[in-house]
Amino acid sequence: MSEQIILNADPRERTGSNKARVIRNIDGMVPAIIYGDEKDSLNIKLRLNELTKASQNELFYTQVLIIKSGEEEEKVVLKELQRDPAKGKFLHADFQRVSRKTKLKVVIPVNFVNEEDCEGIKNEGGVISKSIREIEILCSAGNIPESIDVDVIDLPLGGSIRLTELNLPEGSEIPGLDETTDQMIVSINTPKAVVEEEPIIDDEAEGEAVEAASEDDGKDSSSEDADEGSEEA
């Protein structure tokens, strides 16, 4: 069971860009809104430190969150988190109310299982190639998976797994997936051969080396002739 992320909020009576700037700069909070589920929108402001901590958790972007405002609790999912493009500061957050049966499109990370024991890697010397690392699915708010597990233990050299072969949580689907949009998720491939390059010899340098060697041979011959002449004298 994953941890439940809870954010505390205060009602926000002031709206508009100028008021939002005051909330951020003076109150030290982040303006936000909760909408949906056929209820009135609720303008709130969130504590900056809580939002910052929550934003560092991957589950913040995929799981159902709880926002507490006084005695009220709202179950929501994050729809948009706006940041200042230059400074990275939080500007505004949008949340959508959900019930357990609410259908949502969420992006879920792919978790590759049993890589070390994969048949094609462990016994056949292959290498793994991951083409997709996250997948958008349509699922109920009460059944959002933390990740989608892809078990590669039986995948042989040359084998692959495609989107249509995934085991998704009950009631979940990949929107628009059919034979024409199917994609490879992971494959086990033959390692690329490493070709050892022969050292490149510069023709000019080689010529200089041969010439130098010839000069050395000539000097040796001259020395020998001189020695022989001395002995005869």
What are the sequence ranges of the domains in the chain? 6-98, 104-189
Higher pLDDT, 14 or 143: 143
Q: Which residue has the higher pLDDT, 84 or 193?
A: 84
pLDDT in tens, 9-40: 999 876 666 677 778 776 789 999 999 888 89
Region of 208 on the Ramachandran plot (φ > 0 left; ψ -120 to 50 alpha; else beta): alpha
Gap between the Cα atoms of 159 and 165, Å rounded? 13
| pTM to 2 decimal places | 0.62
The DSSP string of the chain is -PPPPEEEEEE----SHHHHHHHHHTS-EEEEEEEETTEEEEEEEEEHHHHHHHHTSGGGGTS-EEEEETTEEEEEEEEEEEE-TTT--EEEEEEEE--TT-EEEEEEEEEEE-STT-HHHHTT--EEEE--SEEEEEEEGGG--S-EEEE-TTPPTT-EEEGGG--PPTT-B-TT-STTT--EEEEEEPPPP-PPPPPPPPHHHHHHHHHHHHHHHHHHHHHHHHHHHHHH-
Structure tokens at 115: 């890589």
Half-sphere exposure of 33 (CA within 13 A, CB side): 15
Q: What per-residue confidence (pLDDT) applies to 1?
A: 46
Mean pLDDT for 149-162 is 97
Residue with the bigger pLDDT between 50 and 22: it is 50
The per-residue pLDDT for 23 is 81
Does 6-98 match 104-189 in CATH topology?
no
Tell me phi and psi for residue 29, to 5 degrees: -125, 175
Q: Is 207 exposed, middle or buried (0-12, 13-18, 19+ CB in 10 A)?
A: exposed
Residue 46 pLDDT: 94
Distance CA 210, CA 206 (A): 6
Q: 2.40.240.10, 3.40.50.880, 3.40.50.2030, 3.40.190.10: which CATH number matches 6-98?
A: 2.40.240.10
Band (pLDDT 50/70/90 cuts) for residue 62 is confident
Q: Are 100 and 106 in contact (CB under 8 A)?
A: no
CATH code that applies to domain 104-189 = 2.170.120.20
Among 90, 81, 88, residue whose Cα is nearest residue 61? 81
